[in-house]
Structure 1
Amino acid sequence: MSDSMTLPLHMRRTAFDPDPELMTAREEEGVRRVRTAFGLDAWLVTRFADVREVLGDAERFSNAGTSRFQFPGTADVSEEQRRKMRAGNLLAFDPPEHTRLRRMLTPEFTMRRMRRLEPRIRDIVSDHLDAMERTGPPADLVTAFALPIPSLVICELLGVPYEDRDDFQRRTNRLLDISQPPEVRVASQQESRAYMTDLVGRARAEPGEDMLGMLIREHGDDLSTEELTGVANLLLLAGHETTSNMLGLGTLAFLRHPDQLDLLRKEPERIGAAVEELMRWLSIIHSGMSKVTTTEVELSGKRIPEGEIVVCSLPAANRDPEFIDDPGRFDIGRGDLGHLAFGHGVHHCLGAPLARMEMRIAFPALFERFPGLRETETPAEFRSFHIVYGLTTFPVAW
């Protein structure tokens, strides 16, 4: 059975590109009724202006409202268990609850704080390039470079033992893979929380200098153990899964667009703009950002009643010709034009400064160390069934 037969429209892709039918839906309709990956009916929003409006209006489009819906695999989960699984997950709340949680975390992700991390990130990148060089080609760029670097950074930042990475990466993979049975995904979520609950308990007893320790010292009385667990769980998952897929896909994008790689090599100061263009062009959060309407709304001439699920397609919005000229072209000369790949509004990605820094360091270092980096005869494997789009394997030589 092919991806297109089983995947919802907004998750179908051919290599880097969204499905042509998704582009047609954006041009002709703007908003289309669809069935989500979880079997629920929703309104798919595809135009840049509409997606920006939905993401920017937490009053009319609620994140918390999605908790009312019964998702597959959760029939046996009690209301109390659901409440515990939601606790601390910023994506499950609206203001003012969301504001309270986010305010405690924001200082840790300022550019000033991130700059303090820069030397350590450079060391981590160098160490992994050294290891690739020692081992020699061929190498799988996913396992040798793209996945371990963000994983190690977020582990050190949070205070998660790096030796636990195989376990948490396996759990994350199962949780984010919509082709897995719902019961498996729910079990993975519960295992992840159990692991993090234990870690939070140890950090409460002996807070370190990491982010978990800081949250306990500064906000230990304001945050319950369940909330701390949820916050740490979200940061661990988002902190390694998203950036690692950007590093893998981004490298492949450059190798398949040698003119853009040449431009970056000749003018390395373009790296900031290159990262923004990669974010726009790849839009790896392709599974749709879900909201629930709190009142009747109108988007692209369609009336959507109160209490309906609305799914925002970031790949469609970021390739909207109303937003940007020639949107299907990968062009690092564009600069940052205000893409939506990190979201928008109150839920704009908290870790965006960290992700940007990791990419600005990792891409140039990789291409400088291995000027002859190339794909092998074994092609990279794309994975569509994941909540986060990316590569399963990416064999390279140099």
Structure 2
Amino acid sequence: MSDAPVRLSPLDLAALGFAGLRTRPLRAVLSALGISIGIATMIMVVGIPASSRADLDARLSALGTNLLRAQATIDQVSQTLPPVPEAAADMAARIGPVELTSAVANTHANVRRSDKIPAEQGSGLTVLAARPDLLPAIGGRVASGKYLTAATDGLPIVVLGDKAASRLGITEVGSGPAPTVWIGDRWFTVGGVLAPMPLAPDVERSVLVGWTAARTWLRFDGHPTVVFVRSAEAELENVRKVLAATVFPPNPARIEVSRPSDALAAKRITETAFSGLFLGLAGVALLVGAVGVANTMVISVLERKREIGLRRALGSTRGQVRGQFLAESVTLCLLGGLTGAALGILGTSAYAVARDWPAVIPPAAVLGGAGSALAIGVLAGLYPAVRAARLTPTEALAAP
């Protein structure tokens, strides 16, 4: 017979690891609970901010973080606006990353609540010629009534911005007789009122009339004064660089392009603001769990000296004893890690649902939790395993 020690397979080591845990189930459960709490904490402190950030991103994007505004500027010498082509919005739509475009134009008409009010006592509101596709481009919505359509574009119908409606005293369009306003030298019917638009204050303070109707009734020349462009957010800066030359090729300097909104800057800050703090908290939680496992394994070695001595006396090598205790530690941490991952996913989802957020569970957090549990099992069990392997059979059997 060969005196060479039998090599234990990974399955044998796993069986030994489970066997050691089954003999002390309560202690194993409590030790695994520490790891579970640590892993669950790590997933939750990553998942909850990720869910919050997803909700914040959606809210900021709804405000129009990918919205650019190209506005014609007055020539200081001639005091005139440049003749921006009527197709400027369509020209801007040819830029690759651009998703939506629209345009408005100042008709320089005067709007009053009644034709009895003198012209010099106007409301101070701007009358804008607007296209039917304006609201999707600027992220606007109708609070009451209806917006302009292709069918009503040529009719004397207007839509009021939120602040313009308040100033004119027409905050709602109901089922009764439609209110009217006096623009230029004729009555226009109010067809709708817009909801507030924080990133389009000029539209909030304006009275919108159809593009064709402005030509027909307000002597509008057809040249837009503002072109709105919504593009892919990642390419916003690149679109901004070429937008002026695209909208008015003869003299791009006459076009002022807005910088990306402060909301976009806030959105980009939130992408990094949460990470460091919460990952630090998760690291502390995992460290506490690792110390608990290491403590459990050290105590287990002390309590099982006779078992270790008997195994050594029957021929187990130092490597087999070391592998047994290391397998116990790794098994304990993996069980705690899987339980903690499940608890973390459930906790994050429950919190997100309670706050009406989208539940976001970063896969990296779950995989990182499992990997952390494995690493903790190895590190926490390494010293106890080495200590157990160093015990000689006589020393271990002589232990009280």
> Normalised by the size of structure 2, how large is the TM-score?
0.21
Larger Rg: 2
> Normalised by the size of structure 1, how large is the TM-score?
0.21
